[in-house]
A and B are shown apart, each in its own frame.
Chain A
Amino acid sequence: MNPALIKPPLFLACLAPLAYYAWGAQADTLGANPIEAVTRGLGTWALNFLLITLTVTPLRKYSGWAWLGRLRRMLGLFVFFYAALHLSTYLWFDQFFDWPAIAKDILKRPFITVGMVSFALLVPLAATSNAFAIRKLGGRRWQELHRSVYLIGILTVLHYAWMVKADISKPLLYAVMLGVLLGLRVWWRVQERNRQLAGAYLPKPRGRIIPIAVKKQASSDGSA
């Protein structure tokens, strides 16, 4: 599969949730509290895209479809896109840019605090989602930086769970899905560690071993 073929339609599909809320707000089909519906909807989609992005690697690994990896950056950037829109709805429709009130909210409300931290952590990831940054940072450091997406996932689910009043079934469902995706990574790491300990990466001896060392050993024995 050629990723160049799948990217444009996928890009449009990723914009569908935004289109849904934009159209709904305009046509008044989002219910009695459209502002709440938009705010929550955009937040939910940021989290959805986070889980989708985290699914790329396992899916690629188990399906063998290497081209899937080429979609990951775009999906990851949509996490940032929806998170930024979600944050904007909060700053505008909820707080009307009342900065002292916003600062108080961030400091006092745990669910706002973790949401903000989560977004702050997303910013460097979005900023380094380009070939230049990868070259500049070097693959290893880039990868280390981007592992913070695991923490972002945990904080985002926490943000959701602390917001709801009594029924945590939906945040719990997200927690389970995130748990599976993160659990897979832990499992891979354990397997990898075991492989390394078993010497999987020691250079394999090639051909027949020329027994120089053995001979040397034997000769020194002989001289003793």
Chain B
Amino acid sequence: AKLAPGRPSAYSTTDSPTPLRHVTSYNNYYEFGTDKEDPARTAHALRVRPWTLVIEGLVKQPKTLGIEDILKLAPLEERIYRLRCVEGWSMVIPWLGFPVASLLKLVEPLGSAKYVEFITAVQPETMPGVRSRVLDWPYVEGLRMDEAMHPLAIIAVGLYGDVLPNQNGAPLRLVVPWKYGFKSGKSIVRIRLTDTEPRTSWMKSAPREYGFYSNVNPEVDHPRWSQATERRIGEFAKRKTLMFNGYTEQVGQLYTGMDLRKQF
């Protein structure tokens, strides 16, 4: 189903987008299997209607929203973003969505809210992957409040002008382009504002390898592989990975004074 055309955005990159067939056939969505070809094969079963999103925690107005209301919440924008996976590959994806901030403003965060926790769907009957204990389900991700409120952080509901395919995280998916891809939780059902740093699924799985911030950083290697370069899907030669995935100008100031080696 087509969505209303998104308004072009100044935040879009001019890099040429990765072909749709690659964007929808090469996915990390462990609930649907750990091979990257698995989600495209199995995610069709995901029930995306009805879908409700709960926003709760340190907010003045906790809310439960139906997907239809969320789609009317804010005008959709097209955001063509680079996506850098922690595994060393990257894509360019034309997302359709709206800023996370417009969702959070709705519930009026309290001054004490410091972090935002994103909790994703668990449908054991449609998700073959959750039977195995590869990760601690539900998949949980998190951002600091100022990161979540940053205009680059969006909730995507579509890509390439269409409704978001299930394997890409339908119907609501976080997109944080300056962080490794796994920070962008898929099929979100609950957003919780907290005063303590959320323990994410990957931090629980391998705390030495995955930190809370997980900003794209060519100078801080994954303990088991280098992050200096990446292979853009569809390209033969490797590219140099850019600091904050090339979004330093926009997000660099969020991390002034932090030791990014320690807070990786």
Q: Which A residues form the contact surface with B (CB < 8 A)?
A: 31-33, 35-36, 93-94, 96, 101, 104-105, 108-111, 162-163, 165-167, 169
Contact = CB atoms under 8 A, between A and B. Distances in A.
B182 to A, nearest CB: 9
Pick the 10 closest A-B CB pairs, nearest first. A32-B26, A167-B34, A32-B22, A167-B134, A166-B134, A32-B233, A166-B205, A32-B25, A109-B224, A109-B225
A169 B30 contact: no
Interface string B200-239: 0000011000000000000001001110100101101110
B233 A166 contact: no
Contacts of A108: 221, 226
Interface in B20-59: 21-22, 25-26, 30, 34, 36-37
B132 A167 contact: yes
Contact of B26 (A31, A93, A110, A111): A31
Contacts of B89: 33, 36
B225 A166 contact: no
A79 to B, nearest CB: 25
A109 to B, nearest CB: 6
A162 B34 contact: no
A35 B229 CA distance: 15
Contacts of B132: 167, 169
A33 B26 CA distance: 8
Contacts of B238: 94, 96
A123 B37 CA distance: 35
Given A32-B22, A32-B25, A166-B134, A96 B231 contact: no
How big is chain B's contact interface, by range? Answer: 20 to 34
A167 B30 contact: yes
Contact of B30 (A33, A111, A166): A166
Interface string B114-158: 000000000000000000101100000000000000000000000
Contacts of A163: 224
Nearest to B234: A32
A105 B226 CA distance: 8
B197 interface: no
28 contacts: A31-B25, A31-B36, A31-B37, A32-B21, A32-B25, A32-B36, A33-B89, A33-B233, A35-B236, A93-B236, A96-B237, A101-B228, A104-B226, A108-B221, A108-B226, A109-B224, A109-B225, A109-B226, A111-B224, A111-B225, A162-B224, A165-B86, A166-B30, A166-B34, A166-B134, A166-B135, A166-B205, A167-B34
B87 interface: yes
Contacts of A165: 86-87
A34 to B, nearest CB: 9
Interface in B234-259: 234, 236-238
B141 to A, nearest CB: 15
A96 B236 CA distance: 10
B231 A35 contact: yes
Contact of B231 (A33, A104, A162): A33
A46 to B, nearest CB: 20
Scoring A35, A94, A108, A166 by chain B CB atoms within 10 A of each residue's CB, the highest score goes to A166
A219 B92 CA distance: 103
A111 B34 CA distance: 20
Given A32-B22, A165-B86, 19 more contacts: A31-B25, A31-B26, A31-B36, A32-B233, A33-B231, A35-B231, A36-B89, A93-B236, A94-B238, A101-B226, A108-B226, A109-B226, A110-B224, A111-B224, A111-B225, A167-B30, A167-B34, A167-B132, A167-B134
